[in-house]
Structure 1
Amino acid sequence: MPRFSRRSGREVLEGHPRLPDWIVQEKVKLSDLHAMKARMRESALHTVCEEARCPNRNHCFTHGTATFLLMGDTCTRACGFCSIRSGRPLPLDPREPEETAQRVASLGLKFAVLTSVNRDDLPDGGAAHFAGTIRAIRRLNPGTGVEVLTPDFMGDLDAVAEVVAAGPAVFNHNTETVPSLYAEVRPAGRFQRSLDVLAHAKRLGTALFGDEFRTKSGLMLGLGETEAELMEVFGKLVEAGVDILTLGQYLRPTRHQLPVKAYVHPDAFAELGRKAKALGFRTVYAGPLVRSSFNAHEVSAMEGISIA
């Protein structure tokens, strides 16, 4: 049974958060980090690394990887775990796909991850914008790998197909948590809808690009899920053809998001990673600071279990 830090979980719920010893951020070369961030500031482009206060942004920036947040910095949904602001987004910037590709080139990125806010206000959920950005990056940066982390497009499988046809190396869509917690954590989402998106992406991507095409999904732990619920979700993801699974600790971005219910011990992550791998995933990344795009540049070459 995974080991949770019950004491730490209670402290957070009482409004006195205390991070356990195992949640630490690795040291980085600050000059490299500052150089990357300065170049990011040269354009109006957003990275989810900073907008969502990812704990691994230092790690990724100093390893030649960045996750670009497309279609603005305002989301049409308000998920309980996310610090990105919600509201009415601005119209799409038609220059963004080309500008993103140019920024990837100027930064010399080895791997670019493209994600977005939810754009339920758009007929296709922003699928054409994703596809245009993938094509622009591939044209200007033929040696750079591209992963997409997409919303669910409200279940529009034609939108999923448009993104896949543009040729990303990895199609990622996060289920985020177990179905029983969706009402609180992801109220506008539907677990089965997410499974359908992933399954369709896998079928189409394999038909177009062969066995090298990868699909990916991830969950946050510490929101109140049980091991039995997690194992059920893992099984359904394998049935949907998902190749890569990421498991990380939910960390409350600000006091406005959901509190942490429990901190999961690294040994528990390791155990869950082994159990998930045994179900049939090609690759499992499991650890307190693992996030969807953590070590994205290594995923295409790595098969097995990585505990971070």
Structure 2
Amino acid sequence: MVTIVDTLNRPQEKSEARPRHPEKAHRPDNPVQRKPKWIRVKAPTSPVYRETQAVVRENNLVTVCEEAGCPNIGECWSKKHASFMILGDTCTRACAFCNVRTGMPGPVDTKEAQGVADAVAAMGLEHVVVTSVDRDDLDDGGARHFADVIGAIRKTSPSTTVEVLTPDFLRKDGALEIVVEAKPDVFNHNLETVPSKYLTVRPGARYFHSIRILQKTKELDPEMFTKSGIMVGLGEERNEVLQLMDDLRAADVDFLTIGQYLQPSKKHHPVLSFVTPEDFKGYERIAYAKGFLKVSASPLTRSSHHAGEDFSDLRAARLARLGR
């Protein structure tokens, strides 16, 4: 019998123990609320889950699945799906929602690109998501490393489609161009929340800069799919979410994801509301009406959850819109 658990209240198995969020020690304690029944998930028990974990460990890789405490890790890893986090496991920013640790990152691992490519080949991935921590310490924000990883995957697994989820490259002139020139199939950059919440939720970022990153990607390569996502439950108003949709459509973004924010610890931003599945369906209907090619909106939606299937839907939706 499989026990139903809340995976965010149960530490994921790691190769070594370390503090998860020392930079958030200055934050007040915010008791973690009990989750509603629609957010409960199954504990990972599949043998395939262990196989995926072994491939990640053997190649000395970091995954956002573990670092961010994703509730879908059991499902995804049991299907040999994993989202790779490059450029280390330490972020130069301290967003109030994020479970990735903050500090001064180490040097870039020059062997990482091939390690990711080898893992993609070993897992037989048809679609892979590559993301990273913020690297404000690097002149290009890590853009060249993204391009190297894309190139290594293309060489090792030429039929695999590649989706990148990048940081905002704030004050990194030319960085976006480097990533777009590497030709990922999907360029994703998450807004995370509505603009009124940036100061408390995402203080190191700038909302309209993030919008501009997505808009400029389309200007550089009109054929590239663009994608963005937000969390709800952080105190945003419904009309703010609808305005955000309009902002993304003005930037010609193709794909929107909306998921429930879940508080990783008492040192993180509190959950201010649990949005019902019915309200998520409402957001989905409105987003489609506004012109997005693909929308994924549910309590457990995450940027890379079902990314491969969603990419197939995205391509089909574009062809249908073009009448092909």
Task: Give the TM-score normalised by structure 2.
Answer: 0.85
1:178 maps to which of 194, 199, 211: 194
- Map 1:1-308 → 2, pairs under 5 A: 15=31, 17-26=33-42, 30-156=46-172, 158-206=174-222, 210=223, 213-303=224-314
Asked whether the 8 Å contact 1:25–1:55 carries over to 2, the reply is: yes
- Of 284-293 and 58-67, deviating more is 58-67
User: Can you give the 5+ residue segments of structure 1 that lack an aligned partner in the other structure?
Assistant: 1-12
- Of 245-254 and 34-43, deviating more is 34-43
Shift of 1:95: 1.1
C-alpha deviations, 1:151-184, integer Å up to 9, x for none? 0000535211110111111000000000000001
Asked whether the 8 Å contact 1:66–1:111 carries over to 2, the reply is: no
CA distance in 2, matches of 1:60, 1:138: 22
Shift of 1:264: 0.3
CA distance in 2, matches of 1:16, 1:111: 34
Asked whether the 8 Å contact 1:79–1:186 carries over to 2, the reply is: yes
Q: 1:228 to 1:137 in 2, by over 3 A?
A: same
Asked whether the 8 Å contact 1:150–1:172 carries over to 2, the reply is: yes
Relative contact order (alpha carbons < 8 A, sep ≥ 6): 1 or 2 greater? 1
Aligned AA for 1:183?
L
User: Can you give the 5+ residue segments of structure 2 that lack an aligned partner in the other structure?
Assistant: 1-28, 318-324
- Of 86-95 and 21-30, deviating more is 21-30
Shift of 1:186: 0.2
Q: For residue 195 of structure 1, give the secondary structure of its aligned residue in structure 2.
A: helix
Q: For residue 301 of structure 1, give the secondary structure of its aligned residue in structure 2.
A: helix
Q: 1:288 to 1:110 in 2, by over 3 A?
A: same
Asked whether the 8 Å contact 1:157–1:200 carries over to 2, the reply is: no
CA distance in 1, matches of 2:74, 2:127: 15
C-alpha deviations, 1:67-106, integer Å up to 9, x for none? 1110000000000000110000001011111111111111
Aligned AA for 1:43?
N
Asked whether the 8 Å contact 2:47–2:78 carries over to 1, the reply is: no
Q: For residue 65 of structure 1, give the secondary structure of its aligned residue in structure 2.
A: coil
Give the number of aligned pairs.
Answer: 287
- Of 242-251 and 252-261, deviating more is 252-261
- Per the alignment, residue 321 of structure 2 pairs with none
- Per the alignment, residue 13 of structure 2 pairs with none
CA distance in 2, matches of 1:97, 1:286: 32
CA distance in 2, matches of 1:14, 1:161: 40
Q: 1:62 to 1:16 in 2, by over 3 A?
A: closer
Asked whether the 8 Å contact 2:168–2:189 carries over to 1, the reply is: yes
The CA RMSD measured in Å over matched residues stands at 1.5
Q: 1:285 to 1:293 in 2, by over 3 A?
A: same
- Of 16-25 and 289-298, deviating more is 16-25
Shift of 1:205: 2.0
Q: 1:14 to 1:123 in 2, by over 3 A?
A: closer
Aligned AA for 2:243?
E
- Per the alignment, residue 11 of structure 2 pairs with none
CA distance in 2, matches of 1:214, 1:299: 12
Aligned structure 1 segments of 4 or more residues deviating by more than 3 angstroms: 26-29
- Per the alignment, residue 6 of structure 1 pairs with none
